[in-house]
Amino acid sequence: MIIAELEYFAFPFESDEYRCSRIALLDAETDLRRRIERGAEQRRSLSPGGEVTDYLFERVGPDNMPTSARMSELFGPHDSLVLYSLMYGPDVISARARRSAPRLAARPTDRRCARRAGFAL
């Protein structure tokens, strides 16, 4: 059944008031779909935009010394980057727990998203 036919489709025992409300709702939903599609057409016609700045970050390198990394290097071969951060309150027991917890928490996440996005702690 196409949408235009729904206007003439009558439910058993429906009142005139209910039918008018149903037709008004159908008109509103049809208008909404048309406006959404117009917005989607406008979005598709936009240019890609300006060039993104390749920011420079400081991070801890493999030798636990500060090193620099460009934003473009963090993504690897992907267009998306997932940043993972944990914050600890004063009740954290030890410095060792603070250092190891992010690595342990990141392992399963890293494996699952590695095919789709870059991953950084």
pLDDT at 28: 96
pLDDT at 74: 75
- Give the dihedral sign, CA 44/45/51/55: negative
Nearest to 106 by CA among 121, 89, 87: 121
- DSSP conformational letter for 38: H
Q: Where are the domains of the chain?
A: 3-45, 56-120
The tokens describing 48, both together, are 């890609």
pLDDT by 10-residue block (mean), the chain, 121 residues: 61 88 92 97 90 88 89 80 70 60 56 73 67
Nearest to 52 by CA among 34, 64, 70, 31: 70
pTM above 0.85, yes or no: no
